[in-house]
Amino acid sequence: MPSALDRWWGTAHLRAGLQTARFCRISSTLLVCGAILWSLIGCASQTGLVQKSSPVVKPTAEPQSTATGPQKQPEEVFAITQEYFQNTYQKTEGFLRCARDLYDTGLVREAIPYLDTALLTILDSQIELAEFPKMAKLYQQIYDLNAKILKSNPRALDIYLDNRWSHFNTKNYTVPIVLNNSVRHFIEEYQTASRAFIERALRRSGRYMPMIKRALRKAGLPEDLAYLVIVESGFSPYATSYARARGLWQFMPSTGRRYGLKMNYWVDERCDPEKSTRAAIRYLKDLYTEFNSWKLVLASYNGGEGAVRQAIRQCGTNDFWDVMSSARIHRQTREYVPRFMAATIIAKYPEKFGFYIDYDEPVKYDEVTIRGWIGLKTAAKCAGTTYRSLRALNPELRRWCTPPIYSKYKLKIPRGTKDRFLAAYTKLPRRQRSRMLTHRIRYGETLSSIARRYGSSVRAIKSANGMRTSRIRAGRRLLVPVLRRRSSKRSNSRPARHLKWSKTVVHRVKPGDTLFAIAQKYGSSVWAIKQANGLKSSKIRPGQKFIVPILRKGKSKKK
């Protein structure tokens, strides 16, 4: 790699149109000779020949020598002379001018080294920008051109990556971060092949990042764990993997249920940002309690604690890099931690890697308690918003309405619409905000018989299921709004303490028998037969034997 003076000399002649192969060789030879002469002059200056353009070294007053202790060496103070400043400024301006000319001609990749050299010239000069506004203005021009290059040419690689890490300090990260070849590889991948994914993830992170960091801080966990969501789901609550992991934190069904997330026909709480974040925090705490290493925790989060535990036992060490270098860990898990580190570095300093993100606004909402159920389109009208906006606020909902199997459900609505929603909600017809049950249609049933059974109405059932006709098919499920209490049951369904019988008989079921026919034959009841035999349904089959209680008035005999 050529020195700063080589690059400045060669670029100056490039701009003048005189750069040829022969001239470059001659100029390099002259520069070597000049460097030798410069070193000789420097040696002479140490003997008393001080050059005017070099920094002035002012010795302090010589301290008084003592007889008991060694003499102290005089302290040196580095002072910036006008000539030294002017020389540094001209060199920096020259490198910047060359970079700008190359960029204007379309040679972006060739312009980056000169831009880096201009920056390093300022940093190595020990010139304080606060004391020299002229140099500070030049520094700002370097920064602006750098931002312009990366913004207009997102695929332009920074071929002098090492010069970009002046900001890198392990104290800036709450999770231990290293900068090795694996991490750099994924940084370059995120800048190029996966650039679109990282841009979407960073933009969406504005919705949930404040909430996640607040929850992590409250739980006493490192806030940088929030960047784990970039690698997991790209901050999309609907993200689903091939292994059926879902949500921001990509919980598997078994792990989600273990940490209290509900998954059924109506809801999938893995998609709820707040509930899944609380579950992820509990999971990460348990993993850290076992492994006591955040690198192993992250690997376990991806590949499972069982696989990492077995790999540690087989390798005989709990050093992360030794365990990950073995073939006992899946490739995806080996790459997971470097990916997380690369995503964390970029997310904390996006502009330094050419990402200029317009972050989404944080999600803000009010909560209202729904008793029974309500359709999301109806709820959107009550809140004065759109169906799509309401679904975005409630990503855990899987159907078109709130879960009818819950007596109470907290629905999220846009911030500031709570009063309007409650005023409109109280005016809704009862069938649109009542409790709802799920019924499987049997042979011979009609909407009228189902409505009478549950204390509902045909109109309410058709409205809840979006039906235009009363035609139904056995085996399918219906949502049945419960508008009133069920009517009292028949006499043969009285509680067991009111049913008395003197004796019992054993009956073998014959083809065509039903519980009702058997009860009529022996003077019993269907409920008494089911209670005596521990039956939960009325289904029977030929060949079965039942105990049939024979009812009588008075008290039953104790046996």
Cα distance between residue 440 and residue 426, in whole Å: 31
**pLDDT tens figures, 483-527:** 655 444 443 434 434 445 557 788 888 888 888 888 888 888 888
* Count of other CB atoms within 10 angstroms of residue 304: 15
Instruction: Give the highest mean pLDDT range of 112-121, 313-322, 458-467.
Output: 313-322
- H or E element that contains 95: helix 82-104
Give the span between the Cα atoms of 25 and 227, in whole angstroms: 50
> Residue range 434-463: average pLDDT?
82
Q: What is the CATH number of domain 365-425?
A: 3.10.350
Per DSSP, the three-state class of 505 is strand
pLDDT value of residue 164: 52
- Reported confidence tier of residue 396, pLDDT bands at 50, 70, 90: very high
CATH number of 170-353: 1.10.530.10
Cα–Cα nearest to 12, from 106, 99, 87: 99
Residues 6+ apart with CB under 8 A from 480: 436, 437, 438, 439, 450, 451, 454, 456, 461, 464
Q: How far apart are CA 183 and CA 334, in angstroms?
A: 12
Residue given tokens 């010069």 in the structure block = 163
The strand pairing partners of 56, in sequence order, are: 79
- Do the Cβ atoms of 390 and 407 come closer than 8 Å? no
Contacts of 212-218 with C-beta under 8 Å, sequence gap 24+, read 212/273, 212/277, 215/274, 215/277, 215/278, 215/281, 216/281
Residue type, 394: N
CA atoms within 13 Å, Cβ hemisphere of 488: 5
- The DSSP 8-state label assigned to residue 397 in this structure reads B
Task: Give, in words, the CATH class of 491-551.
Answer: alpha beta
Distance of CA 372 to the CA centre of its chain: 32
Whether residue 538 is predicted with pLDDT greater than 50 in this model: the reply is yes
And the tokens for 300? 């376990």
Most confident of 154-163, 222-231, 317-326, 547-556: 222-231
| Alpha-carbon dihedral angle through residues 44, 50, 55, 58, given to the nearest 10 degrees | 110
Can you give the residue ranges of every domain in the chain?
Answer: 4-55+78-165, 170-353, 365-425, 432-482, 491-551
Give pLDDT tens digits for 49-72: 333 333 433 344 444 433 344 444
What confidence tens digit (pLDDT) does each residue in 159-189 have?
A: 444 445 555 666 789 998 888 888 888 988 9
For residues 374 and 429, the answer to whether their CB atoms sit within 8 Å is no
The pLDDT of residue 70 is 43
CATH for 432-482 is 3.10.350.10
| pLDDT per residue as tens digits for the range 315-350 | 888 888 888 877 778 888 989 999 999 999 999 988
Strands (E), 289-414: 365-371, 408-414
Query: What is the arithmetic mean of pLDDT over 138-154?
Result: 77
d(CA 338, CA 161): 17
Q: Residue 504's beta-bridge partner residues?
A: 549
Fold equal for 432-482 and 491-551: yes
What DSSP state is assigned to residue 344? Answer: H
pLDDT at 483: 61
Counting every residue, how long is the chain?
559
Who has greater pLDDT, 55 or 227?
Answer: 227
Q: Which residues pair with 547 in a beta bridge?
A: 506
